[in-house]
Each structure stands twice: as structure tokens, then as C-alpha cells.
Structure 1
Amino acid sequence: MKRLSWISACLLISAAPAFAAPESCERVKADIQQRIINNGVPETSFSLTIVPGDQVDQVDAQVVGHCANDTHKILYTRTSSGNAPGNPPAAQDGSQSEPQ
């Protein structure tokens, strides 16, 4: 009986990091999000997503962090809120604006 409880305790201790991984990833994601916002990027113009490390091949997404012992990646995706670099703002007088 002592042996069974000892084995159960060892299994729970070894599984503890797996249980803590989602919380750790959320904390890392929140830290990255705050850094991006502190750099002047509006919160509505991007999204961060936590994905398993083998699913990082998403179009228009950039890996900006990792968590859970590098088993998960945090992806940055720019949203279509009108701030995309391919859509320059229109000039107010109706003329075309030129890149400087």
C-alpha cells in the first residue's frame, strides 16, 4: 500500500509542470502583449495566439515568444483595423500621397 501511494505521489509531481503550462503561457502572452502596447501599437491592431510548437506555420503570423518548455509558441498577427502597411492613408486634400 505504501508503494502505491509513493508511485502516485511521484506521478503527480512529475505531471505538475504540465498542469502549470497553460498558466505560464498566459502570463508570457500577457507580458508580450504589454510590451507591444508600450511600444505604441494599438491593442486593437494585433492579436497574440498560443499554439503548439508543431503548428506555427500560419500565414501572416510571426513567432514572438515561446512557453511551456518551448512546447508552445506565441504568434503575433496584425489585424485588419486599417493600419496595414499596404494601405497608406488618403491625403486630406484628395491628392495621392507619396512615400517619403
Structure 2
Amino acid sequence: MRPSRWLCAGLLLAAAPVFAAPESCENVKNDISQRIMNNGVPESGFVLNIVPADQTDKPDAQVVGHCANDTWKILYTRTSSGNSAGSGAMQDGARTEPQ
């Protein structure tokens, strides 16, 4: 039974980075969210989603970051409560699109 214990322990250790990815991605997502809000976009004006890097991009979404060694990407989507999508309009002298 000992080999199976070592095997289970080895599998758990090997899977640890996969389980850790969402936490590190949440940190990156929070940093990006703060930057977008600092550029004048209201919090209700956009959504950030963490998706696998190999997932096809949605036409209305923009990739604004990567995390977990580029295995995940962060997509930015404007909501109807934000300024018009893709306009690049200036509001109070601040650029409204993510940098």
C-alpha cells in the first residue's frame, strides 16, 4: 500500500500548480480591474473573465492580461452601463479603454 500512498502524494503535488492558478489569476485580474477604474471606467462598466489561454476569443472581448505562466488569459468586455465599446473616448481627460 505504500507505493499507492506515494503515488497519490506525487499526483497531488504535481496538480498543486493547477489548483494555485486561479488565486494568482485573481490577483492579476484585480490589478487590471483597478487600472481600468483608474482610467475612468466605472466598475459597473466592464467585466473581466479568466479563461483558458487556448479558448477562442469572443468578438466583443479584448485580451488584457495573462496569468499562470500564460495558461490563462483575462478578457475585458464592456457592459451596457459603460461608455460605448471601442470608442476610445476621453472622459475627464482619462482614456476609457484599458492600457
Give the Å deviation of 1:46.
Answer: 1.2
Give the whole-Å Cα distance in 2 for the aligned partners of 1:50 and 1:69.
13
- What are the ranges of 5 or more consecutive residues in structure 2 without an aligned counterpart? 89-99
Q: Please name the residue that 1:83 is paired with.
A: 83
Task: Provide the TM-score with structure 2 as the length reference.
Answer: 0.74
What aligned pairs does 1:67-78 form with structure 2 within 5 A after superposition?
67-78=67-78
Aligned length: 87
- Whether the aligned pair in 2 keeps the contact of 1:56 and 1:73 (CA below 8 Å) is no
Identity %: 71
In our comparison, the structure showing a higher alpha carbon Rg is: 1
Larger RCO (alpha carbons 8 Å, 6+ apart): 2
Q: Please name the residue that 1:49 is paired with.
A: 49
Aligned residue type for 2:51? V
1:4 paired to 2:8: no
Give the whole-Å Cα distance in 1 for the aligned partners of 2:83 and 2:38.
17
When the two chains are superposed, the root-mean-square deviation of aligned CA atoms in Å is 2.1
Task: Provide the TM-score with structure 1 as the length reference.
Answer: 0.73
SS in 1 for 2:26: helix
- What are the ranges of 5 or more consecutive residues in structure 1 without an aligned counterpart? 87-100
SS in 1 for 2:57: coil
- Whether the aligned pair in 2 keeps the contact of 1:45 and 1:83 (CA below 8 Å) is yes
Give the Å deviation of 1:78.
Answer: 1.4
Give the Å deviation of 1:16.
Answer: 0.5
Q: Which runs of 4+ in 1 moved over 4 A?
A: none
